[in-house]
Amino acid sequence: MRRILAVSGPDRVEFLQGLVTNRVGAAPAWAALLTPQGKYLADFLVLPEGEHLLIDVDARLADDLARRLSMYKLRSKVAVGATELTVARGTSPAPAGAIMDPRHEALGWRLYGAEGDDGSDWDAIRVAHCIPETLVELIPNETFILEAGFERLHGVDFRKGCYVGQEVTARMKHKTELRKGLVTVGIEGAAPVGTPVLMADGREAGVLYTQSGGRAIAHMRLDRMGDGLTAGDARIIP
């Protein structure tokens, strides 16, 4: 379930631009708010709509996100509030007025002011393209966005200037090589989301998340992707 927030006021673009991971204001964008330590707090779509920037966010994170944004207002001429807008989505031919999801073309379209879902198998789509989901693969105060694929999915702009958590994110991009990250793996059997992925010698190699059609998303140590991996009773195939 989604909630749509609105950021209004003459400073709205500059205000949000200085907080989130992506460039906002000109076109629909996927972005995140991070802690100062560079860890994920919430992800959302930002859409310019007249005198507002709309924020399309998981309903479970909406109140906390609105509170955090309001904390950063200081002297900025902005207001952050809830709206009654709804959103529909699908992968069938897009209806008039819909926007395409900026993360990946496989995620189809979103139409604001409407409700519903065309019945697409979203887990299968996400697993096929290794697209993380809020509160599943994306865990507040734990996930680093580059390990979650934000660069590949157009969720971070390294040229836009400062934002909360930017220093840590830029350091991970330019000064280190990622050792861990989300990958799509094969799976024989099934295991609960959050089950550790273990090597044959019992050492932990990662964590299993969304599963669909013999494949799964897992957060893996990239140097431990080899034969003999298991997650509970399931066999994991790199």
**Which of 204, 191, 181, 194 is closest to 234 using CA atoms?**
191
What's the confidence (pLDDT) of residue 170?
Answer: 96
The amino acid present at 188, given as its one-letter code, is E
Whether the CB-CB separation of 184 and 96 falls below 8 Å is answered with no
Phi, psi of 64, deg, nearest 5: -65, -40
What's the confidence (pLDDT) of residue 31?
Answer: 98
Mean pLDDT, 10 residues at a time, over the chain (238 residues)?
98 97 97 98 97 98 98 95 97 97 98 96 98 98 98 97 96 92 98 98 98 98 96 97
Three-state SS at 108 = coil
Residues with Cβ within 8 Å of residue 166, at least 6 apart in sequence: 21
Distance CA 238, CA 229 (A): 8
Distance CA 218, CA 221 (A): 10
In which residue are the tokens 């007249």 written? Answer: 50
Distance CA 34, CA 133 (A): 16
Q: Which two tokens stand for residue 90?
A: 């699908």
pLDDT digits (tens, 9 = 90+) for 37-85: 999 999 999 999 999 999 999 999 999 999 999 999 999 999 999 999 9
Radius of gyration of the chain (CA): 19
What's the confidence (pLDDT) of residue 175?
Answer: 87
Predicted model pTM = 0.95
Distance CA 201, CA 208 (A): 18
Cα dist. 209→172, 173, 176, 184, 225 in Å? 23, 24, 25, 10, 16
Distance CA 123, CA 38 (A): 27
Distance CA 110, CA 117 (A): 9
